[in-house]
Structure 1
Amino acid sequence: MPRLGTSIPLLGREPELGTLRTALRRAGSGQAGAVLLAGDAGVGKSRLLTELVTEAERDGVTVLSGRCLDVGEAGLPYLPFVEALGRLGAEQRELAAQWPVLGLLLPALASPEQAGQAMERLRLFDAVHGLLSELAARHPVLLALEDLHWADVSTRDLVLFLLSRLDTQNLLVVATYRTDDLHRRHPLRPLLAEVSRLPAVGRIELGPFSAAEAVAFVSALAEGALPDTTLHAVAERSEGNAFFCEELTAAAQRGASLPGGLLELLLARVERLSPETRRVVRAVSGAAQLSEHACLREVCGLDDTALETALREAVLHNVLVPAEDGYAFRHALLREAVYDDLLPGERVRLHAGFARVAGRIGTPAALAYHSFRSHDLPTALAASVRAADEATRMHAPGEALQHLEQALQLWDAVPGPEGVAGRDELALLWSASGMAFAAGEIDRAVTYARSAVTRADLRNDPELAADARHQLATALIPFDTRRAEVSQAVGEAWDLVRDRPASVVRAKVLALRARAWVWGVPDLDVDELSGHVEQAIADARAAGAPDVEADGLVTLAAFESWRERTARSIELGTAAAERAAAIGATRVELRALHNITSNLLISRDVRGAARMSAQVWQRAERAGLGWSDVGVEGRTSELFDLYVLGDWDDALARAEVTGAPRFARARIGAYSAPILVAQGRFAEVEDLAARLADQRDDARTDVVFGIALAEAAQWRGDPLAAVAGARSVLDRIRAMSRSSVADIRWAAATGVSALADLAEQARRRGEDTGELAGAGEELAATEPASLLHVRLEARSPDTLAPTARLTADLNRLRGQDDPDAWAHAVKEAEALPYWQLLARWRWAAALLAHGDRDAAAEQIRLVHTAATELGARPLRSAVDDLARRGRLTVAGGSAPEDDVLTPRERSVLELVAGGLTNRQVGERLFISEKTASVHLSRVMAKLGAGSRAEAVSRAHQRGLLG
């Protein structure tokens, strides 16, 4: 079972909690106020208020709290005030005794006469106001009133009386209510309209969690008991509602779908409606999408007047919401609950009705959905194929895949399926593999491609069989460990078309064969590879396949980079990308642009490489390929560039992806791990790695996580674990078909650095370090299977920098810490600011060991300042430790960590101080409005500010802004 949400640290509510804290501080200084805390049921209002109450009690604030109950129209008079004042202590009750009328609310003060007397409202209101004022004169008072949507008329009147008389008391009133319960004629609405005009009254609209916050909350609830895919599914279904997160997490751990308690809660709202309205609501649940008025009229069999009356009632009670030309459920889980409550026959009739309408005026997707669920399978098959075609034209591969899978599911259940579908099963399998690959569902792409190979082999058509194997090889390429399968598929395809005339298929196979580094053919000569590509281009021209020709030009551009002609490679790659874009070959265009990022990195233009990578994945998104292999490669390349550049806030904001399939989510999550380690957020990295543990079949994900965890172990003072982690990573890399030299050097440098730490400890104990040195030599000797990789990557700074660190740390491991080697490492990392800081730190230690204190002090001050600005807490702590051991002073001392803004946060706050909105800030800094909002929220949390204006004011006071 999950833990209750209240036992988990508050997530995602820092801005709102900051606003409440500010209001409480102002009340403590004599500025009485009130905050109306609004939000849907279960969104987290009580949890937020509980956090404020806990902090207030800890600070000596007198807290009085009470809640309203749902007991019908009449209600219980003054119930929240009776409950709140019932919490008074003995001394406070004596104070209350000076207002005898309070006996109406406090039974202990009531006289026998009062019990039978009519309430004296004005005297009672004055007494409550007077008592609160007297209490506030002694200690600040927080009056917390929950669930005002259930308040009786007397309570509402008393609340209005109190809020209209807030002045200089040390008093804060916080009242919560549900927005989804406030239909248009709800009796609380006039009160809200009245008090909203009062200057002392503020309002917080508590929205649902963001997608990332919902995932974090469900992860905390599940405590590692749910796999990552289930965790994201639960978070998505909850739509950010905290209570739904808790209930769905519990249900997922039990293997249930919709928990009984949540089901009853959701259906209770529907049961309050009239019978005819319930009938319409149940019909809308069967639509599974926006329900248009005309469609509902036909399915429900109601005239316009009756239908409009029912819809108005459903909207009034916040069950349905109008959206453009139709109606939808306020929350997807409410639709699910109503639909699950339908009887089987009722569902079939509903879907049959919607299918009739969809057949005349609807979309193929709607017709496929409703025909399938009303058991009209031939119609469902034909409509599914048409819906897949339509989704493909709209660049929606995920939706196309769903329709294709439904068509394949129906294939054997429909007589004469080829005639019904208008194509054969092989064509559907082929399309399903392509759409799965485009949607980032790599496992499914491989599965369908293998089935297509089996079907194609039955046709006795060599080109068809070769083409199927080409698609299988393409689908297998992202799995870096499936070298043998890729090689086998390409080899078989080439054998089938080697001796055949020029054709599109022959050109495709030959072009893929030329990309030998993908599937691990060892050390072919570049000129030989170029010959294969040129032949593929000639075949493509002869066969009229401009997309294959453009793809061959991209490969030739890559070979120019191998020949160390970087400028020529960029020129050819740009031309190939333009040609591909002109003919609509988007995947070829994206591959060309992605290759250009590698050339920019070799040219040490890391910032330009990051911009180009962003262009790649954003272009992929527009084409519906955002989660394909090339779209994900663009994202991860940008994340790595931002990591070494030190733009960590932007990188982590980019890594917060929603709706991504398992493969993409794991890859992108892995590339956020080194950043979290650099910030000292070790527990988050371990949690992320545990949640994505089911993605171990993706070697790239495993390698990057492995390096990050090894670095985390070293920062935490566990060099043995760091060495073991580095060894594991290098073992994993040896099994990869695309073993990156940069990754090898990075992992080896991490392991050797940890061994050097162990050797230093051993030497201080007078122990022999020969065995450690041998282990380091072994790690450093790791090389990729192909020397082509070394030639390709040897000039890239992400290879040169860790290689230089590796050499310098080998010296340290041998007991010969050489300042010149570290100076060289600093130079090689010039384009990679964060890695350069790591080298400077080690350089400072070597300088100090050789007695050059002035030079060491200069490096220490430089690294300390930069690490502080970056938020690189482990590095800053290490520099502080080095300065203490060397008896050196770090200029300016150590500012509190929670008082430091990152450069990006400072830039955002400076623009906010200039009066810019989040959208304008985003446009000025070339980031999204959401990213700007995330930065501002973090600034407010660090400064303890409850508003934008207060954040600017506090930053000025602390000298953080000019």
Structure 2
Amino acid sequence: MPGLGTQIPLVGRVRELDTLRAALRRSREGHASAVLLAGDAGVGKSRLLAEFVDGAGRDGVTVLSGRCLDVGEAGLPYLPFAEALSTQQEAAQRWPVLGGLVPGLATPEPADQSVERLRLFDAVHALLADLATPGPVLLALEDLHWADASTRDLVLFLLSRLDTQRLLVVATYRTDDLHRRHPLRPLLAGVSRLPAVTRVELAPLGAADTVAFVTALADGALPDATVHTVAERSEGNPFFCEELTAAASRGVTLPGGLAELLLARVERLSSEAQRVVRAVSGAAQLVAHTSLRTVCGLGEDALESAVREAVLHNVLVAAGDGYAFRHALLREAVYDDLLPGERVRLHAAYARLAEENGTPAALAHHSLRSHDLPTALAASVRAAGQAAAMHAPGDALHHLEQALQLWEAVADPERISGRDRLALLRSASAMASAAGEVDRAVTYAGSAVTEADQRDDPELAAETRHQLAVALIPIHMHRAEVSKAVAEAWELVRDRPASLVRAKVLALRARAWVWGAPDVDVDVLRGHVEQAIADARAAGAPDVEADGLVTLAAFEHWQGNTGLSTELGLAAAARAAEIGAVRVELRALHNVGSNFVQSGDLRAAARMAERVWRRAEESGLGWSDLGVEGRIGELFDLFALGDWDTALARAEVPGAPRFARARIGAYSAPVLVAQGRFAEVRALAARLADQHDDSRTGVLLGIALAEAAQWRGDPATAVAEIHGVTDRMRTLSRSSLAETRWAVAVGVSALADLAEQARRRGEDAGALVEEGTQFARWAADPGELVSPVQIRLEERHPDTEAPTARLAAELNRLRGDDDPDSWARAVDRAAPIPYWQLLARWRWAAALLAQGERDAAAEQVRLVHDAATGLGARPLRAAVADLAKRARLTTPGAAAPAGDVLTPRERSVLELVAGGLTNRQVGERLYISEKTASVHLSRVMAKLGAGSRTEAVSLAHQRGLLG
């Protein structure tokens, strides 16, 4: 009989094996890294990994291995990590939170879900780092395409924190399983951009290697012609090679379908061996020997004989104390070949085992497949609770949805599940919010309101309306619905005694500005929140009390007491963190970041926004509304500061649900436009429009598309895009004043371009002027969308002041009076945002030229050209160069004073280099990669005309750029 691929030397994988060995060498030197090993099913990923793992083990490397399993959509949270760490009981003693993963540890009392999730992730990270202290550790994770949501989150957490540990992570996954919406795709897209992560695509073997492989497999049993035929038919897939070689040795003419080819091997087995193989196929995972004996109903001797036969014929493999299929495709073929009644009996047997073993997720899966719907319902509810306790909201949501689908299919579902439908709906809404599934959170919350209204319980009806309002707020498109839900909730409890529900409703009433309620009165709202705090204290609800304190801090911000607001907000965040109220903590920190924006300290705002989304991510709320708000806040701050490389890197969000991916992705569009990557902006807009119909996303993308059209010389399209933006803004529950004026400034600028073209043709531009004037009126008084308090607040923000000043200057240009003084004011107002200031300087230069002030214009042209070059703002650089050419100014490009040219990020890099830090240390301080730090330093050297980092520091000192 032909041999196995594992019994012959590895063929055709020298380059890939060298890549893995090089990564391991780097890990020995304290440079942690990860290799993602991808390829189609059967291409040899496991064989390559086994060869590498075997060599690493012989070299004294600590090897930890775990495998994901195909259990449908039920999911087994953290399974590969539990398997990998199963032998590390002694090392894991320091972290009791690992009790759910490592057998033999005492599991601590359950605590707040978000906090425990963070502790679990930190503990896994710390354990691996601890194990890697005496020597390198290799963590091998197989079949990530079957990973559950919790495992994907933990993988992301670990890979994003690879640093100086002597750790190498190698993970495999199937590329042919990754359909367009596969949940692993976003994760891969994000982690692949991490500097410590390398992707290795395992392609089919080349023609020569395939022939060599089949020749070795046949071991002289097949003629050369047959070897070449097998090699050709296999198309370089080693698994196909093995199967075709084995079939050819029997002289069997195989059908073309892969399933039939795989089943041919099974059909050679005895009836008892086939019985065992079919039983294993129903498990969809490793089957323990004792479990297999129970399912098969065979005696010990008969079972051992049948299993031995299946192993010898390369159908099953022994693993630990159980058995699995040698190839997943083979299991699928066998399972698909089962008769319907046979499947039901198998799943029923496995369900009984799952019930005995206390594994509700497996019980729910097998009970559903065996049509035992009552058991599936009860197990789904228990599995949801277990997933929630393990801080896996995505898995919990899946089980809750399955339970709700089964609700009407069983008799007396409340008795069977131990919960009522309303409780399941509310839990599903909460888990959907935590997982970032915003639409589903709203749907389940709305259903909960309907269910609660059928009961005579005003507080329950009010609480469900409170949950609905909270679920609606992040969408920014349901102003009336939010107001209605809050008003109805208040009417239900306003005359009732103090209670937790009443406190929650009052606290939400005090935040009327969140959904854009008009004519808010701060004194009235303050009364609401003070009463909410009193009710919360009476009800013993410290989280609601802390939330009220956050709102009181926001009121100080409203009244211009920004310093006091920041102080109170940080105190409220600390209190919330102390009691484990993570969402309240995040809201407090987010508000503090807004204070920094108002004060013009965008760097502090960016740091706070990063703190918010990182805290959310670590707490299992990374895709919640507050986690997303933190990310997009940081993205805009980075855009404003000119740190565009970091902004684009941050916009890559592996594992994000569609809502979060659309919102976050949209905030990369302004950077792409500024860099001249217009095709990417159009592709991004098309992709996000297909993913989610979200008006707030549409606003950002519409502004970006308008700017791109204007840069391409198509102002008419730009105006049309801005009309679309203003239409979307009217659907938002909380429109942004800053974005409103940004959009209108772009629209008026495009109209001014059209007006200039019309005047050059001798045509009247009156209609264009009127259109721009209407735009400006709406932007000046957007009271239909934005509350008076919010308008008063945002008027002082630099991202509002800059476009407001630009709008005034563009209106003058539209009317044919391009006033240099108005552009000088726009330059002054845009000082905190370098790119917008450069746009104003460019227009200022044009206005100066029109006034005949060539020297002043030339100075602005030079500043803009050099700074735009440093930023990578290619369209602006081209535009100012064209202006210089048309005006016959000196070609820009001469060195400018560095103080006018260096971006804030470049200045930060230069200061750290002057302090003696290496590029890597600079990157660590600024939370950027070593490569990005090097790029910034190269730009600094070019601008200063320096030939080395030392000379750059010296020149900077001479020019007074460094203290």
TM-score normalised by the chain length of structure 1: 0.66
Offset of residue 631 of structure 1: 1.1
Unpaired runs of 5+ residues, structure 2, are 1-14, 20-35, 56-141, 147-177, 190-200, 205-253, 896-901, 939-945, 951-963
Cross-structure match for 2:663:
667
Matches within 5 A, 1:538-687: 538-687=534-683
**Rounded Cα–Cα distance in structure 1 between residues aligned with 2:696 and 2:769:** 29
The structure that has the greater radius of gyration is: 1
Checking the alignment, whether the CA contact within 8 Å between 1:709 and 1:725 is kept in structure 2 is yes
CA gap 1:389/1:208 in 2 versus in 1, 3 angstroms: closer
Q: Kindly tell me: are residues 493 and 242 of structure 1, through their superposed partners in 2, closer, same or farther at Cα, counting changes over 3 Å?
A: farther
Range moving further from structure 2, 413-422 or 399-408 = 413-422
Counterpart of 1:231 (choices 180, 204, 223) is 180
1:853 Cα offset (Å) = 2.6
User: Taking structure 1 as reference, are residues 417 and 184 closer, same or farther at Cα in structure 2, changes over 3 Å only?
Assistant: closer
| Residues 332-354 of structure 1: per-residue CA shift (max 9 Å, x gap) | 88876665455434433443343
Q: Which residue of 2 aligns with 1:247?
A: none
Indicate conservation of the 8 Å contact 1:388/1:399, yes or no.
yes
Matched, 1:453 2:449: yes
Q: Indicate conservation of the 8 Å contact 2:798/2:830, yes or no.
A: yes
- CA shift, 1:706, in A, is 1.0
| Equivalent residue runs for 1:19-98 within 5 Å | none
Which residue in the other structure is 2:421 paired with? 425
Residues 730, 833 of structure 1: CA spacing in aligned structure 2 closer, same or farther, 3 A cutoff?
same
Partner of 1:168: none
Shift of 1:699: 1.6
Residue 822 (structure 2) aligns with: 821
**Deviations along 1:611-654, whole A, 9 cap, x unmatched?**
21111111111221111111111111111111222222222222
8 Å contact kept, 1:910–1:961: no
Q: Is the 8 A contact 2:187 2:654 kept in 1?
A: no
**Aligned match of 2:61:** none
Query: Contact 2:384–2:395 at 8 Å: present in 1 too?
Result: yes
Return closer, same or farther for 1:601/1:41 CA change in 2, 3 Å cut-off. closer
Structure 2 residue 338 is the aligned partner of structure 1 residue 347: no
1:523 to 515, 519, 522: 519
Aligned residue for 2:475, secondary structure, equals: coil
Match of 1:845 in 2: 846
1:701 has 2:697 as partner: yes
Partner of 1:788: 789
The corresponding residue for 2:125 is: none
- Aligned pair count reads 719
- Aligned counterparts of 2:255 and 2:891: Cα–Cα separation in 1: 57
Give yes or no for contact 2:367–2:375 (8 Å, CA) kept in 1.
yes
Q: What residue number does 1:95 align with? A: none
Kept after mapping to 2: 8 A contact 1:906/1:961: no
Q: Check 1:185–1:691 CA distance in 2 against 1; reply closer, same or farther (3 A cut).
A: closer
Give the letter for the 2:382 counterpart.
Answer: R
Q: Is the 8 A contact 1:404 1:432 kept in 2?
A: yes
Contact 1:864/1:879 (<8 A) preserved: yes
Q: 2:504 aligns with which of 499, 508, 524?
A: 508
Question: Does structure 1 conserve the Cα–Cα contact (< 8 Å) formed by 2:263 and 2:333?
Answer: no
Q: Quote how far apart the aligned CAs of 1:455 are.
A: 1.3
Q: Who is 1:71 aligned against?
A: none
The yes-or-no answer on 1:479 pairing with 2:475 is: yes
Aligned to 1:756: 752
Distance 1:40 1:494, change over 3 A: closer
- Taking the aligned partners of 2:756 and 2:579, their CA distance within structure 1 comes to 61
Q: TM-score, normalised by structure 2?
A: 0.66
The SS at the match of 1:477 is helix
Give the % identical residues. 67
Q: What is the Cα deviation at residue 413 of structure 1? A: 2.4
Structure 1 residues 675, 237: closer, same or farther in 2, change over 3 A? closer
Q: Which amino acid aligns with 2:823?
A: W
Aligned to 1:888: 889
Q: Which moved more, 1:438-447 or 1:843-852?
A: 843-852
- Residues 613 and 350 (structure 1 numbering): CA distance in 2 closer, same or farther, change over 3 Å? farther
Matched, 1:737 2:686: no
Conserved? CA contact 2:642–2:905, under 8 Å = no
Q: Call closer, same or farther: CA 1:672–1:182 in 2, change over 3 Å.
A: closer
In the superposition, relative to structure 1, how do residues 845 and 596 fare at CA in structure 2: closer, same or farther (>3 Å)? same
Please say if residues 773 and 814 of structure 1, whose CA atoms lie closer than 8 Å, have aligned partners that are also in contact.
yes
Change in CA separation of 1:681 and 1:333 when aligned onto 2, cut-off 3 Å: farther
**Maintained 8 Å contact 1:271/1:278:** no
Structure 2: how far apart are the matches of 1:417 and 1:627? 32
Post-superposition offset of 1:235: 7.5
State the shift of 1:405 in Å.
0.9
**Cα shift readout 1:404-424 (whole Å, capped 9, x = no counterpart):** 111111222233222221111
Cα distance in 2 for partners of 1:290, 1:932 equals 43
The more displaced of 855-864 and 509-518 is: 855-864
Question: Retained in 1: the 8 A contact 2:669–2:704?
Answer: yes
Judged with a 3 Å threshold, the aligned counterparts in structure 2 of structure 1 residues 291 and 518 are, in CA distance, closer, same or farther, namely farther
Letter in 1 for 2:665: G
Deviation of 1:745 after TM superposition, in Å, equals 0.5
Of 870-879 and 840-849, more deviation after overlay is shown by 840-849
Q: Is the 8 A contact 1:479 1:697 kept in 2?
A: no
Q: 1:434 to 1:208 in 2, by over 3 A?
A: closer
Q: Which residue does 1:496 correspond to in 2?
A: 492
One-letter amino acid matched to 2:746: T
Which residue number in structure 2 is paired with residue 879 of structure 1?
880
| Offset at residue 860 of structure 1 (A) | 2.1
SS at match of 2:469: helix
1: CA distance between counterparts of 2:864 and 2:569?
Answer: 38
User: Structure 1 533/328 Cα, relative in aligned 2: closer, same or farther at 3 Å?
Assistant: farther
Whichever residue aligns with residue 753 of structure 1, its letter is S
Deviation at 1:723, TM superposition (A): 1.0
Distance 1:848 1:292 in 2: 83
AA of the residue aligned to 1:845: A
Report SS of the residue matched to 2:852.
coil
Displacement of 1:395 in angstroms is 2.2
2:95 maps to none
Q: State the distance in 1 between where 2:701 and 2:858 align.
A: 34
The aligned residue for residue 132 of structure 1 is none
Residue number among 719, 726, 739 corresponding to 1:723 in the alignment: 719
**Cα displacement (A) at 1:491:** 1.1
- Name the CA distance, whole Å, in 1 between partners of 2:893 and 2:526: 59
Letter in 2 for 1:374: S
Shift of 1:432: 0.9
| Counterpart secondary structure, 1:680 | coil
CA separation of 1:726/1:527 partners in 2, compared to 1, >3 Å: closer, same or farther?
same
State the distance in 2 between where 1:922 and 1:263 align.
Answer: 55
Change (3 A) 1:763 1:580: same
Please report how far the alpha carbon of residue 886 of structure 1 lies from its aligned counterpart in structure 2 after TM superposition. Answer: 2.1
Deviation sequence 1:66-91 (CA, Å, 0-9, x none): xxxxxxxxxxxxxxxxxxxxxxxxxx
CA distance in 1, matches of 2:258, 2:905: 44
Amino acid of the structure 2 residue aligned with 1:853: R
Three-state SS of the structure 1 residue aligned to 2:762 is: coil
Give the Cα–Cα distance (whole angstroms) in 2 for the partners of residues 800 and 828 of structure 1: 6
Q: What amino acid is aligned across from residue 888 of structure 1 in structure 2?
A: L
2:824 match: secondary structure: helix
Range with greater deviation from structure 2 (435-444 or 782-791): 782-791
Counterpart contact for 1:381–1:420, Cα < 8 Å: yes
Deviation at 1:185, TM superposition (A): 10
Report the more deviating stretch, 656-665 or 802-811: 656-665
| Cα offsets for 1:452-504 (capped at 9, x unmatched) | 11111111111111111111111111222211111111111111111111111
Alpha-carbon distance in 2 for matches of 1:846, 1:237 = 47
Deviations 1:326-385 (A, max 9, x none): 888899888766654554344334433432332233532222222222222222222211
Cα distance in 1 for residues equivalent to 2:370 and 2:893:
74
**Contact residue 282 and residue 339 of structure 1 kept, 8 A:** yes
Q: Deviations over 1:45-73 (max 9, x none)?
A: xxxxxxxxxxxxxxxxxxxxxxxxxxxxx
C-alpha distance after superposition, 1:508-530 (max 9, x if no partner): 11111111112332112212211
Q: Measure, in 2, the Cα distance between the counterparts of 1:383 and 1:642.
A: 47
Aligned equivalents of 2:776, 2:44: Cα separation in 1: 62
